[in-house]
């Protein structure tokens, strides 16, 4: 094919013990929006890293616009016309938009020119952006615009986007798709990585599906059902979580008007948050990242204590209690960030099991830890949640993201919580493991526990929640029954339309 923008021929990359890419061949045409699909560990990341010059393939050839292409670092890739927007933004909070853009450029023009260019490009593509605003004050969607504009200023031929919609509201997703379609119409090809199959069906013209490092299928997403694509990714049929919806029981967790400053710089303060969760119920809390999710979790886990009279677990005023006292009562939590928050990456799984399991699993005797029992507890988490690890003494940081996620969620679930608060429970976890985690959350709810699930994945929340509320700039909307909510309604809740409630107070 002479009309290919980028061709991959037999690209192979092996790491010790694992073949990340085996003989991958694919073609991207100019102006095409091409989806790259696969479960976690299927090799998507390694493949785009190879294209972006972060990884050198062991074998295979790449051809860009008819010329051999072998970037040895991202500078070379950018010079050749390949740009990438990472899932995690690499921006400095304390600098302005223009300063951040200049930092990422090989040869930044004078500041005034750059600011003008940023305005021009951002407006052309429908991504309004003020070059002089401080990045720390921007929403996640706006930050993504900074990253995209930074790429567009280099006039790329191929734009790689890694999970771009995970931090966006449905409305912001629509704007992003408009931008991408416009770019595509102008001849820029887009390699689009996402787990959200409906989005891919709406946006992409072709898709390459990877499984265990190999290309297992290609398809036209517009003509393939999401379920069919998911099954091609998994290589089998997909388990959809289910449960018998029980009548909700008594209120077990109550927050009565909690306002609290974020402990972090550029964090979001909680503003008059009120909620009630009943036994047997899953309360889903949606919201775009950075709208107070971390703070809400910290307020419930006990990392951030509150004055008396604001947070109640049954009849206990738990506000002033620290994490251990709350755990003793049965209020457990699993934070979003696995490495360094939910788990200590340098410590073994046994030690990480003791990290939260100490109180409820009786792992201490007179102040001394019983490592034998801790090991047993770790082993049961590993077995019950199918954590792939050589053993309990492996460092948590050596596990893949999805496996560690299974471990940290499983660790809380096995402690028989009365209330479990999770933030992004299936973030970065592949489809079948995500289904298992959701099923486990539903199972404990059925058993009579209350679950507060904070997530940015709306599909996930709709799948498991009984009621749904949205966090926006630290305010929580009044929860509504999840059944029957439309995407538009959810979008408005996420975008803060409940501000109207505040207005007439």
Partner 1 sequence: MIALERRPQASTAWTWAAPLMAVVLTMIFGGLLFAALGKDPLVAIRTIFWDPLFGEFASFYRPQLLVKGAPLVLIAIGLSFGFRAGIWNIGAEGQYILGAICGAAVGLALYPSEARWLIFPLMIAGGALGGFLWAMIPGLLKVRFNANEILVSLMLVYVAEQLLAAMALGALKNPEGMGFPGSRNLAQWDSSVSWIDRSAGLHWGVLFALGAVVAAYALMARHVLGFQIRLTGQSPRAAAFAGVRPNRLILVCLGLAGALAGLAGMFEVTGPAGQITIDFNVGYGFTAIIVAFLGRLHPVGILLAGGIMALTYIGGEIAQNQLGTPAAAIQVFQGMLLFFLLAVDVLTHYRLRLGRKAPAPAPRPAPAPEAAE
Which residues in this chain contact partner 1 in the complex, by CB under 8 A? Answer: 40-46, 49, 53-56, 72-75, 86-88, 90, 92, 103-104, 162-163, 193, 301-303, 322-324, 327, 333, 335, 337, 339-347, 351, 354-356, 358-359, 364, 367-369, 371, 394-395, 397-398, 400-401, 427-428
- Radius of gyration of the chain from its Cα atoms, rounded to whole angstroms: 24
User: Minimum distance from CB of 89 to partner 1 (Å)?
Assistant: 8
User: Minimum distance from CB of 327 to partner 1 (Å)?
Assistant: 7
Is-contact 83 189, C-beta < 8 A? no
Looking at the Cβ atoms of 323 and 479, the one nearer to partner 1 is: 323
Helix (H) or strand (E) holding 483: none
Looking at the Cβ atoms of 6 and 374, the one nearer to partner 1 is: 374
Looking at the Cβ atoms of 108 and 448, the one nearer to partner 1 is: 108
User: Minimum distance from CB of 433 to partner 1 (Å)?
Assistant: 12
Looking at the Cβ atoms of 404 and 485, the one nearer to partner 1 is: 404
Is-contact 171 491, C-beta < 8 A? yes
Q: Quote the CA–CA distance of 121 and 152 in Å, as a whole number.
A: 7
Looking at the Cβ atoms of 125 and 427, the one nearer to partner 1 is: 427
Residue appearing with tokens 């077990």: 252
User: Minimum distance from CB of 162 to partner 1 (Å)?
Assistant: 5
User: Minimum distance from CB of 31 to partner 1 (Å)?
Assistant: 24
Structure tokens at 285: 């809390």
Looking at the Cβ atoms of 334 and 445, the one nearer to partner 1 is: 334
User: Minimum distance from CB of 403 to partner 1 (Å)?
Assistant: 11
Residue appearing with tokens 């439309």: 486
User: Minimum distance from CB of 304 to partner 1 (Å)?
Assistant: 9
| 3-class secondary structure, 262 | coil
DSSP letter for 368, please. Answer: E
Among residues 143, 216, 220, 225, the alpha carbon closest in space to that of 176 is found at 143
User: Minimum distance from CB of 99 to partner 1 (Å)?
Assistant: 12
248: phi then psi, degrees, rounded to nearest 5: -65, 145
Is-contact 90 51, C-beta < 8 A? no
Looking at the Cβ atoms of 101 and 470, the one nearer to partner 1 is: 101
Angle at 491 between CA 311 and CA 222, to 5 degrees: 135
Looking at the Cβ atoms of 235 and 346, the one nearer to partner 1 is: 346
Among residues 303, 387, 401, 402, the alpha carbon closest in space to that of 353 is found at 387
Distances (CA, A) of 117 to 98, 100, 261, 395: 10, 14, 37, 47
């Amino acid at each position: 094919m002479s009309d290919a923008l980028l061709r991959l021929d037999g690209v192979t990359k092996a790491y010790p013990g694992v073949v990340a890419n085996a003989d991958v061949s694919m073609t991207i045409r100019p102006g095409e929006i091409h989806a790259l699909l696969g479960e976690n560990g299927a090799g998507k990341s390694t493949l785009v890293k190879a294209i972006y010059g972060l990884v050198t393939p062991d074998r295979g050839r790449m051809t860009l616009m008819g010329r051999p292409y072998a970037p040895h670092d991202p500078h070379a890739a950018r010079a050749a016309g390949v740009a990438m927007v990472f899932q995690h933004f690499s921006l400095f909070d304390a600098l302005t938009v223009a300063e951040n853009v200049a930092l990422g450029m090989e040869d930044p023009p004078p500041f005034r020119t750059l600011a003008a260019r940023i305005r021009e490009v951002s407006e052309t593509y429908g991504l309004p952006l003020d070059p002089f605003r401080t990045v720390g004050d921007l929403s996640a969607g706006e930050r993504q615009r900074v990253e995209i504009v930074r790429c567009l200023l280099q006039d790329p031929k191929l734009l790689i986007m890694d999970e771009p919609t995970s931090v966006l509201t449905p409305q912001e997703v629509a704007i992003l798709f408009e931008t991408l379609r416009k770019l595509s119409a102008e001849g820029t090809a887009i390699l689009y990585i996402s787990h959200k199959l409906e989005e891919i069906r709406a946006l992409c013209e072709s898709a390459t599906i990877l499984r265990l490092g190999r290309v297992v299928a290609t398809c036209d997403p517009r003509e393939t059902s999401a379920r069919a694509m998911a099954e091609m990714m998994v290589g089998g049929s997909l388990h959809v979580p289910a449960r018998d919806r029980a009548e909700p029981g008594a209120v077990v967790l109550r927050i009565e008007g909690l306002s609290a400053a974020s402990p972090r710089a550029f964090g979001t303060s909680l503003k008059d948050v009120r909620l009630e969760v009943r036994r047997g119920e899953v309360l889903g809390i949606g919201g775009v990242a950075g709208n107070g999710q971390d703070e809400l979790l910290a307020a419930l886990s006990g990392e951030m204590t509150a004055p008396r009279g604001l947070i109640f677990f049954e009849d206990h005023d738990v506000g002033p209690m620290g994490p251990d006292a709350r755990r003793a009562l049965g209020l457990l939590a699993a934070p979003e960030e696995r490495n360094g928050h939910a788990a200590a990456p340098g410590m073994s799984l046994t030690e990480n099991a003791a990290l939260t399991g100490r109180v409820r699993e009786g792992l201490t005797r007179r102040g001394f830890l019983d490592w034998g029992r801790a090991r047993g507890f770790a082993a049961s988490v590993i077995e019950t949640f199918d954590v792939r690890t050589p053993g309990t003494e492996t460092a948590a940081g050596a596990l893949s993201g999805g496996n560690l996620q299974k471990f940290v969620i499983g660790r809380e679930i096995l402690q028989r919580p009365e209330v479990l608060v999770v933030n992004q429970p299936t973030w970065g976890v592949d489809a079948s493991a995500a289904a298992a985690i959701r099923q486990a959350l539903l199972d404990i709810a059925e058993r009579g526990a209350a679950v507060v699930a904070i997530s940015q994945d709306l599909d996930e929340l709709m799948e498991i929640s009984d009621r749904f509320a949205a966090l926006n700039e630290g305010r929580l909307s009044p929860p509504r029954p999840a059944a029957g909510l439309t995407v538009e309604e959810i979008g408005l809740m996420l975008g803060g339309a409940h501000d109207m409630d505040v207005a007439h107070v």
